[in-house]
Amino acid sequence: MASVAALRALRKRISPSFASRIIAFTSDSRSISTLVLAEHEGGAIKPQSVSAVKAAKSLSNDNPISLLLAGSGSALHEAAANAASCDLSVSEVLVADSDEFSHPLAEPWAKLIHLVQQKGGYSHVITASGSFGKNILPRAAALLDVSPITDVIEISDPHLFVRPIYAGNALCTVRYTGAGPCLLTVRSTSFPVSSILADSKSNDAPITQVDLSTFGEDSVGKSRYVKHTSQDTERPDLGNARVVVTGGRALKSAENFKMIEKLAEKLGAAVGATRAAVDAGYVPNELQVGQTGKIVAPELYMAFGVSGAIQHLAGMRDSKVIVAVNKDAEAPIFQVADYGLVGDIFEVIPELLEKIPEKK
Ligand SMILES: Cc1cc2nc3c(=O)[nH]c(=O)nc-3n(C[C@H](O)[C@H](O)[C@H](O)COP(=O)(O)OP(=O)(O)OC[C@H]3O[C@@H](n4cnc5c(N)ncnc54)[C@H](O)[C@@H]3O)c2cc1C
């Protein structure tokens, strides 16, 4: 990096307006350092957190990235080792090992971010825009007295971001002007990674324990952990699946919805649902795709009996190929579909099930 004296000398030889841009650029990029709050499960960092690292990389070329993992037990340390080699740009992995972090409760996690940020003086704190990040980051922002920027889909410069508004019907460019650290949640579909260890290296980043001696005993918040339920582990994760098969209200019952599940099984796909299908009790709400559900961008998205309301499109319109089956030729889903079939799902799905071979 150029020294201040060298920059001053350079400034004398070029036009004042160009010089001020150079100074602005260098001071901006020099001060960048990022803390990425990572999620982990079963001893591995989750793909959406690797996407958050990818987003952090696009802030600046000169950007030390620290990954923060919290939890307890051996799975945490396995995940830390995995995180240390998940991307060449990770310069250190910080591990907070305490029973306080055994469950993803927002209060202790937000307090942890506050503690780590204060110690490390990071210019940016990033996490994936899932239910975990959406729960924790705004609280951390409140503790740090800054305003978070959520659902970022593009990073133009360290302080300029693009995010969707009006259910994805408009894009808003936001400049962060706050004095404190810039807190972001990023959509992992906008920062895709091919596989968890795609950028793995032989030399792992150093792993450091977070000093929790000042964390305090008063961190028990208002929320309480009750239990954890998760979807069928045989199926791919909805947020990262290559193929998603979604059913809408037209399925009419939980029993009929099993056709969608069977089709997904044959295709090795994740199952998605509209809010109408979730509200009707056909499937749990963790399968909801849309503005108030999961955001997905698979290679293939198949929608059966889905009208294509804007709130649903907000969660799947970035899919590479969209296939829709609906008996109404005027259904809005056909406006975004690459392949559309006007037909009855109770005829089409059984036919597909019959013709598609069992997955080996
Ligand atoms: C604030 C807010 C947030 C929301 N968030 C979400 C969200 O995250 N995700 C979401 O999905 N929705 C969301 N919604 C709801 C959304 O507006 C729609 O009501 C919902 O997406 C409709 O679901 P659907 O397409 O299954 O049902 P419907 O709109 O009832 O459509 C059913 C479709 O099935 C077709 N059909 C019926 N029978 C058959 C058949 N036998 N064969 C073929 N086609 C058939 C019909 O022609 C129709 O197009 C939200 C709404 C609000 C107000």
- The CATH number for 345's domain is 3.40.50.1220
Cβ partners under 8 Å of residue 343, min gap 6? 325, 326, 327
Residue 3 belongs to some domain of the structure: no
Do 41 and 177 lie in a common domain? yes
Is residue 5 pLDDT above 70, yes or no? no
Residue 10 belongs to some domain of the structure: no
Q: Name the CA radius of gyration of the chain, rounded.
A: 23
Cα(47) to ligand 1 centroid in Å equals 29
Do 283 and 167 lie in a common domain? no
Backbone φ and ψ of 334, nearest 5°: -70, -20
Among 185, 209, 233, identify where a domain stops: 209
Q: Buried b / exposed e across 58-75, counting CB within 10 Å, b at 16+?
A: ebbeebbbbbbbbbeeee
Q: Which helix (H) or strand (E) holds 66?
A: strand 65-71
Q: In the predicted model, what is the mean pLDDT of the chain?
A: 88
Residue 219 belongs to some domain of the structure: no
- pLDDT 10s digits, 218-252: 656 778 889 877 665 678 889 889 999 999 999 99
Q: How far is CA 348 from CA 69, 188, 260, 344, in A?
A: 46, 33, 11, 6
- The amino acid at 70: A
Eight-state DSSP code of residue 180: S
Do 57 and 192 lie in a common domain? yes
Residue 110 belongs to some domain of the structure: yes
Pocket of ligand 1 (CB under 6 A): 248-250, 274-277, 288-293, 305-307, 309, 311-312, 315, 326-328, 331, 344-346
Cα(252) to ligand 1 centroid in Å equals 12
Q: How far is CA 353 from CA 60, 326, 337, in A?
A: 49, 17, 21
Residue 305 belongs to some domain of the structure: yes
- The amino acid at 152: V
Q: Return the half-sphere exposure (C-beta side, CA atoms, 13 A cut-off) of residue 81.
A: 6
Q: Tell me what pLDDT residue 235 has.
A: 84
Q: Tell me what pLDDT residue 8 has.
A: 38
- CATH number of residue 79's parent domain: 3.40.50.620
Q: Do 187 and 48 form a contact (C-beta atoms < 8 A)?
A: no
> What's the domain range around 91?
32-209
Average pLDDT over residues 346-350: 98
Residue 322 DSSP SS3: strand
Residues above pLDDT 70, as percent of the chain: 87
Among 183, 209, 235, identify where a domain stops: 209
Q: Residue 321 and residue 261: Cα distance in Å, rounded?
A: 20
- pLDDT 10s digits, 28-62: 445 899 999 999 998 999 999 999 999 999 999 99
135: left (phi over 0), alpha (psi -120 to 50) or beta: alpha
Which residue's alpha carbon is at the smallest distance from atom 39 of ligand 1? 250
Nearest by Cα to 128 from 207, 48, 73: 48
Place of tokens 């991307």: 87
Do 187 and 273 lie in a common domain? no
Q: Tell me what pLDDT residue 13 has.
A: 44
Angle between helices 345-355 and 254-267 (to 10 degrees): 30
Query: Is 297 annotated as a binding-site member?
Result: no
Q: Buried b / exposed e across 260-278, counting CB within 10 Å, b at 16+?
A: bbbbbbbbebbbbbbbbbb
Residue 11 belongs to some domain of the structure: no
Q: How many domains are contained in the chain? A: 2
Residue 71 belongs to some domain of the structure: yes
Do 169 and 298 lie in a common domain? no
Q: How far is CA 39 from CA 95, 101, 129, in A?
A: 12, 11, 11
Do 178 and 298 lie in a common domain? no
Query: Is 312 annotated as a binding-site member?
Result: yes
Is residue 347 pLDDT above 70, yes or no? yes
Do 200 and 254 lie in a common domain? no
Q: Tell me what pLDDT residue 101 has.
A: 93
Among 159, 193, 209, identify where a domain stops: 209
Average pLDDT over residues 259-269: 96
Which residue's alpha carbon is at the smallest distance from atom 41 of ligand 1? 344
Q: Do 264 and 271 form a contact (C-beta atoms < 8 A)?
A: yes
Do 202 and 335 lie in a common domain? no
| Token code pair at residue 309 | 């309301």
Average pLDDT over residues 288-315: 96
Q: Tell me what pLDDT residue 10 has.
A: 40
Query: Is 13 annotated as a binding-site member?
Result: no
Average pLDDT over residues 164-173: 91
Backbone φ and ψ of 355, nearest 5°: -85, -25
DSSP string, 122-165: -SEEEEESSHHHHHHHHHHHHHHT---EEEE-EEEETTEEEEEE
Do 278 and 171 lie in a common domain? no
pLDDT-derived band of residue 15, with 50, 70 and 90 as boundaries?
Answer: very low
Residue 174 belongs to some domain of the structure: yes
Do 204 and 247 lie in a common domain? no
- The amino acid at 129: S
Q: Residue 90 and residue 126: Cα distance in Å, rounded?
A: 13
pLDDT-derived band of residue 198, with 50, 70 and 90 as boundaries?
Answer: very low
Do 134 and 275 lie in a common domain? no
Average pLDDT over residues 178-206: 79
pLDDT-derived band of residue 358, with 50, 70 and 90 as boundaries?
Answer: confident
Is residue 291 pLDDT above 70, yes or no? yes
Do 198 and 266 lie in a common domain? no
Place of tokens 């199952």: 271
pTM: 0.80
- pLDDT 10s digits, 88-124: 889 999 999 999 999 889 999 999 999 999 999 999 9
Of the listed ranges 39-43, 56-60, 194-198, 335-339, the least confidently predicted one is 194-198
Cα(15) to ligand 1 centroid in Å equals 59
Q: Tell me what pLDDT residue 348 has.
A: 98
Q: Residue 53 and residue 173: Cα distance in Å, rounded?
A: 21
Is residue 201 pLDDT above 60, yes or no? no
Q: Do 172 and 163 form a contact (C-beta atoms < 8 A)?
A: yes
